Amino acid sequence: MVPAVDRAARILLLLSNRTRGMSLAEITSATGWHKSSVHKLLITLDYHGFLDRDETTKRYALGIELVRCGQSVLNNMLVNRSAKSFLRELADFSGETSTLAILRGTTIVILDVVETPGEIRVSPPIGTMDPVTAKSNGKAVLAWLPEERIGEILETEGLPAKTGNSITNVGLYRKELASVRKQGYAIDIEEFQEGISAVSAPVFNSEGQVFGTLSIIGPAFRMTKEKLNLYGGKCAETAGRLSPLIR
């Protein structure tokens, strides 16, 4: 690796977890690098628009150029282009928001979203990253991973309680994954966030490996158990038609 590029990347990743940005002194302290080296990197990243420096607080935050780069990545991804019509189909069928997500390491990342025009709707931002153990789309992926990999992810991410409905016991969670494999889709009834329910089905690549998910997500008061099962079947059927297009 090129040391300077590695350090620049580490600064971007560090700032991605700080909503208020960081000062030069804070970044220097967090990295342990020499102040003058950090300052040069910050100036360079700011010049190219990858960072933004607040002249009042002197704090650095991620810059708008990263948004443009990220959108370019999403626009050029074959899976994104292939899935758009399927997402619209799910949104039209359910009257709720549909999403496409993919697995990256131990996180699940929202790649695309199709909203419905209703006033009360759930719409996760594109680029949202959550632990794969936390939501229905994560369960829909985990259920088709090798047992060894499931164990590694559960050990790394754990099963933190997000709401009173969260599954925090490993044994119960594994039983849930077995049910997901049997029915072909995963359900989240206010497990990740109160007031929100979702259903997700796995998408596979050409090698038969689980790649990501198609989901329908909406307010819990509308997402009854009957609807969740109906939407789950639709997600599974739709994901089955999308999977052959993934290379």
pLDDT, tens digit (0-9, with 9 covering 90-100), for 86-140: 999 999 999 999 999 988 888 898 988 999 887 888 988 888 888 899 889 999 9
* CATH code of the domain in which 48 resides: 1.10.10.10
CA 114/CA 125 separation, integer angstroms: 11
Please report whether residue 72 resides in a domain: no
CA 40/CA 33 separation, integer angstroms: 12
Clarify whether residues 37 and 141 are in a common domain. Answer: no
Please report whether residue 227 resides in a domain: yes
Residue 92: predicted pLDDT: 95
Clarify whether residues 129 and 193 are in a common domain. Answer: yes
Total residues found in the chain within this entry: 247
Please state the three-class secondary structure of 191-213 as a single string: CCCCCEEEEEEEEECCCCCEEEE
pLDDT at 75 > cutoff 70 = no
pLDDT, tens digit (0-9, with 9 covering 90-100), for 77-95: 556 567 889 999 999 999 9
Both tokens assigned to 231: 């939407």
CA 11/CA 23 separation, integer angstroms: 12
Clarify whether residues 114 and 206 are in a common domain. Answer: yes
Alpha helices in the chain (DSSP H): 3-15, 24-31, 35-47, 64-76, 78-94, 136-142, 147-157, 170-183, 225-242
Average of per-residue pLDDT across 3-23 = 90
Clarify whether residues 82 and 62 are in a common domain. Answer: no
Clarify whether residues 190 and 226 are in a common domain. Answer: yes
67 confidence band (pLDDT: 50, 70, 90)? confident
Answer with the one of 18, 36, 67 that is the final residue of a domain: 67
The three-state secondary structure class of 21 is coil
Clarify whether residues 197 and 227 are in a common domain. Answer: yes
Number of domains making up the chain: 2
pTM for the full predicted model: 0.75
Residue 77: predicted pLDDT: 58
Both tokens assigned to 19: 């909503």
Clarify whether residues 59 and 102 are in a common domain. Answer: no
Q: Which contacts (CB < 8 Å, 24+ apart) does range 182-185 have? A: 183/232, 184/232, 184/233, 184/236, 185/140, 185/232, 185/233, 185/235, 185/236
163 confidence band (pLDDT: 50, 70, 90)? very high
Structural domain of residue 38, as residue ranges?
A: 3-67
